[in-house]
């Protein structure tokens, strides 16, 4: 049974993802593969579990997938022509009530060396010397950003977030982790870019960090695509089980927008449940300059969207993947059939029915509608709700400290974890696969155990996550891998 279960999961992933996805929401739709700087990879939303910060909610939007640490000389600067946003719905109507907007700018300093009596610009794009402080002299490109809050419709009036001490509205983004010679203490250097900020309309200062991090997502992907060539089958990660299945993101970095905001600044009235998602938008028009660069113009057009993990990969069909990325939650009725009549469980049964895999039989799948579109009653479903895909968090549920968190979240009795929000340590691949095959039916949520013959199987892709994969303090994601580990 162990080998069957593991292989079934791998083949299910292969069948469902082979058209587009490469991991979580890394390169998940055809159009976004052409715009990697605005490709949202993962979205996290959870009660802060750093000691003394339980009254805050942390929001993390990750962008630019599959970053190789040695990816110079340009590395991974954000797109200055793009608009990155995090949206919060705090009344259950599937429309944003708060939006945090981020815009980026690059200043090229054109450092030079004197060669033969003549000053010549250096070819190194990012740095020309050691870097240890904010806006260091050794930086050849200074990347900065602004952050704003919009209340109501996302294109409404906006107000700037300000440094809580200096009042500044422009913030520095740390350069990527070039290597240990350029930046001997990257953790200390990046830590100088964690800033306290004031949010208009919120009495409690927030914390903000934007910069490169180690990609926290884990997935055994390459072996899955190689005809399910999985080397470490396991039904569950028990004490004596193998944990050496390949994590294909183990050597990848990502760029993170991380905010920690008082829960009271995100909720409305007595409703403790909030919904969240991230988007990126580009201008409709682009003119390519034959001498380099481009000119952008026209209205903002959303090209990336991410709330719950894996939705565009294993739920939305190929013809609608780009449409989903361009849509808003309030429009999600057009995708309802993908949730209520999912193809992934049917693929598992088709391929492994003779070994005991049976798809749930409760159509329409109200258990999946509960998990993906409304939230679970008594857990993270708001009092009034319009069915729509987004990550939902009950801010009234206390966080679990690092060391007490369970990687399977709610289905293992840890109500502070996924799908009640999402933490870096939640194993969303295993959780989502089990829910798709009817795990909620075994809990009598939207269906009964008899509706899901395979609902108790402990599906896993074998890629393991535990407390060592994330930090206990803000910004929670670990220091990115250095491009050059030697000094």
Q: Is residue 393 part of a domain?
A: yes
Least confident stretch, 155-169, 208-222, 248-262, 267-281: 208-222
What integer pLDDT is reported at residue 442 of this predicted model?
94
Question: 475 preceded by cis ω (within 30°)?
Answer: yes
What pLDDT, on a 0 to 100 scale, did the predictor assign at position 235? Answer: 54
The angle subtended at Cα 72 by Cα 478 and Cα 480, nearest 5°, is: 5
What pLDDT was estimated at residue 273? 98
Please state, in angstroms and rounded to a whole number, the distance separating the CA atoms of residues 460 and 359. 16
Residue span of the structural domain in which 159 resides: 2-469
Residue labelled with tokens 């490709």 = 39
Band (486; pLDDT cuts 50, 70, 90): low
Tokens 């693929």 appear where?
Answer: 347
**Looking at residues 73-85, what average pLDDT do you find?**
94
pLDDT given at position 23? 44
Q: Measured between alpha carbons, how far is 8 from 4 in angstroms, rounded to an integer?
A: 6
pLDDT over threshold 90, residue 130 = no
Q: What is the pLDDT of residue 20?
A: 34
How far, CA to CA in Å, does 240 sit from each of 34, 233, 243? 44, 13, 9
Burial of 378 (0-12, 13-18, 19+ CB in 10 A): exposed
pLDDT of residue 261: 98
Q: For residue range 2-42, what is the model confidence (pLDDT) as tens digits? A: 333 444 443 333 333 333 334 455 666 667 778 889 999 99
> Does residue 471 have a cis peptide bond before it, meaning omega lies within 30 degrees of 0?
no
Q: Residue 93 in contact with residue 132, Cβ under 8 Å?
A: no
Sheet holding 252-262, edge to edge: 40-47, 56-68, 252-262, 206-214, 195-198, 162-163
Confidence of residue 380 (pLDDT cuts 50, 70, 90): very high
Predicted local confidence at residue 19, as pLDDT: 35
Contact 92, 275 (CB under 8 A): yes
Establish if 217 belongs to a structural domain: yes
Q: Which three-class secondary structure state does DSSP give residue 447?
A: coil
Name the band, by pLDDT with cuts 50, 70 and 90, for residue 355: low
Q: Does the pLDDT value for residue 228 go beyond 90?
A: no
Asked whether the beta carbons of 330 and 386 are under 8 A apart, the reply is yes
SS (H, E, C) 109-150: CCCEEEECCEEEECCCCCECCCCCCCCCCCECEEEEEEEEEE
The 10s digit of each residue's pLDDT in 422-474 is 999 999 988 988 899 999 999 999 999 999 999 998 877 777 888 888 999 99
Number of domains in the chain: 1
Residue 236: pLDDT band with limits 50, 70, 90: low
Residue 481 lies in a domain: no
Question: pLDDT at position 191, please?
Answer: 98
> How would DSSP label each residue in 6-20?
HHHHHHHHHHHHTTT
Between residues 213 and 9, the one the model is more confident about: 213
3-state secondary structure of 324: helix
Which residue from 164, 73, 155, 57 is spatially nearest to 392, judged by alpha carbons? Answer: 57
What does the block give as tokens for 350?
């088709």
- 137 has a pLDDT exceeding 90: no
Confidence of residue 292 (pLDDT cuts 50, 70, 90): confident
How far the first Cα of the chain sits from its last, in Å, is 48
Count other Cβ atoms within 10 Å, centred on residue 193.
17
The residue that leads in pLDDT, 199 or 137, is 199
Judged against a pLDDT cut of 80, whether residue 239 lies above it is answered with no
pLDDT band at 77 (very low <50, low <70, confident <90, very high): very high
Task: Give the pLDDT confidence of 382-403 residue by residue, as tens digits.
Answer: 999 999 999 999 999 999 999 9
What pLDDT is stored for residue 115 in this prediction?
84
Could you tell me the two tokens for 379? 């857990």
What mean pLDDT comes out for the span 326-341?
A: 94
- The count of other CB atoms within 10 Å of the CB of residue 117 is 5
pLDDT of residue 204: 96
Is 321 inside any structural domain? yes
Using a cut of 0.85, tell me whether the model's pTM lies above it: yes
User: Hey, how many other C-beta atoms are within 10 angstroms of the C-beta on 240?
Assistant: 5
Q: What is the pLDDT of residue 47?
A: 98
CA distances from 117 to 112, 113, 114, 235, 271 (A): 12, 10, 6, 69, 69
Instruction: Give residue 62's region: left, alpha or beta (phi > 0; psi -120 to 50).
Output: beta
CB 164 within 8 A of CB 197: yes
Q: Give me the mean pLDDT over the 244-252 stretch.
A: 77
Mean pLDDT of the chain: 87
At 457 the pLDDT is: 84
480 is a domain residue: no
Q: Distances from the Cα of 127 to the Cαs of 142, 176, 179, 349, in angstroms? A: 9, 11, 11, 54
* 271: β partners: 268
* pLDDT attached to residue 162: 98
**ω into residue 17 within 30 of 0, thus cis?**
no
DSSP state of 372: I
487 domain residue, yes or no: no
Beta-strand relationship, 141-151 and 158-160: antiparallel
Instruction: Tell me the C-alpha distance between 293 and 287, whole Å.
Output: 9
Task: State the pLDDT at residue 439.
Answer: 94
Q: Which residues, including other chains, have CB under 8 Å from residue 245's CB and lie 6 or more apart?
A: 220, 223, 230, 231, 232, 234, 461, 462, 463, 464
CA–CA separation, 435 and 454 (whole Å) = 10
Q: Cα 415 from chain centroid? A: 20
Place of tokens 């422009």: 170
User: Residue 369 pLDDT > 80, yes or no?
Assistant: yes
């Amino acid at each position: 049974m162990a080998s069957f279960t593991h292989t079934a999961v791998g083949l299910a992933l292969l069948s469902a993802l082979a058209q587009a996805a490469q991991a979580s929401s890394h390169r998940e739709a055809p159009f976004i593969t052409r715009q990697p700087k605005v490709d949202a990879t993962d979205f996290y939303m959870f009660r802060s579990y750093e000691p003394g910060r339980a009254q805050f909610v942390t929001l993390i939007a990750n962008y630019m997938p599959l970053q190789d640490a040695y990816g110079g000389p340009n590395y991974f600067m954000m797109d200055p022509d793009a608009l990155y946003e995090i949206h919060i719905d705090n009344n259950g109507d599937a429309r944003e009530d708060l939006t945090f907007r981020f815009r980026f700018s690059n200043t090229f300093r054109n450092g030079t060396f004197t060669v033969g009596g003549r000053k010549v610009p250096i070819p190194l794009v990012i740095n020309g010397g050691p870097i240890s402080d904010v806006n260091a002299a050794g930086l050849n490109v200074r990347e900065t950003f602004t952050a704003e809050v919009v209340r109501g419709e996302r294109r409404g009036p906006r107000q700037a977030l300000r440094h809580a001490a200096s009042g500044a509205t422009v913030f520095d983004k740390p350069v990527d982790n070039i290597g240990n010679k350029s930046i001997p203490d990257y953790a200390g250097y990046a830590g100088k870019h964690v800033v306290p900020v004031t949010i208009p309309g919120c009495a409690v200062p927030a914390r903000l960090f934007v910069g490169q991090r180690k990609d926290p997502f884990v997935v055994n992907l390459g072996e899955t695509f190689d005809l399910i060539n999985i080397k470490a089958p396991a039904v569950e990660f028990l004490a004596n089980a193998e944990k050496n299945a390949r994590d294909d993101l183990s050597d990848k970095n990502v760029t993170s927008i991380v905010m920690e905001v008082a829960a009271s600044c995100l909720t409305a009235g007595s409703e403790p449940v909030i919904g969240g998602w991230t988007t990126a938008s580009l201008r409709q028009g682009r003119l390519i300059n034959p001498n380099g660069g481009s000119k952008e113009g026209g209205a903002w057009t959303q090209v990336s969207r991410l709330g719950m993990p894996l939705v565009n990969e294993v739920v939305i069909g190929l013809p609608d993947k780009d449409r989903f990325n361009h849509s808003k939650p309030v429009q999600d009725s057009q995708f309802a059939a993908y949730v209520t009549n999912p193809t992934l469980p049917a693929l598992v049964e088709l391929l492994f029915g003779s070994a005991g895999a049976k798809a749930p039989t409760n159509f329409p799948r109200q258990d999946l509608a509960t998990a993906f579109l409304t939230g679970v009653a008594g857990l993270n479903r708001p009092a009034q709700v319009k069915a729509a895909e987004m990550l939902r968090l009950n801010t009234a549920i206390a966080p679990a400290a690092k060391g007490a968190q369970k990687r399977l979240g709610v289905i293992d009795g840890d109500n502070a974890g996924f799908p009640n929000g999402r933490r870096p340590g939640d194993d969303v691949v295993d959780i989502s696969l089990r829910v798709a095959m009817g795990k909620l039916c075994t809990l009598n949520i939207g269906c009964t155990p008899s509706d899901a013959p395979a609902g108790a199987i402990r599906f896993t892709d074998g890629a393991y996550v535990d407390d060592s994969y994330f930090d206990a303090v803000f910004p929670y994601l670990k220091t990115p891998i250095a491009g050059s580990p030697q000094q």
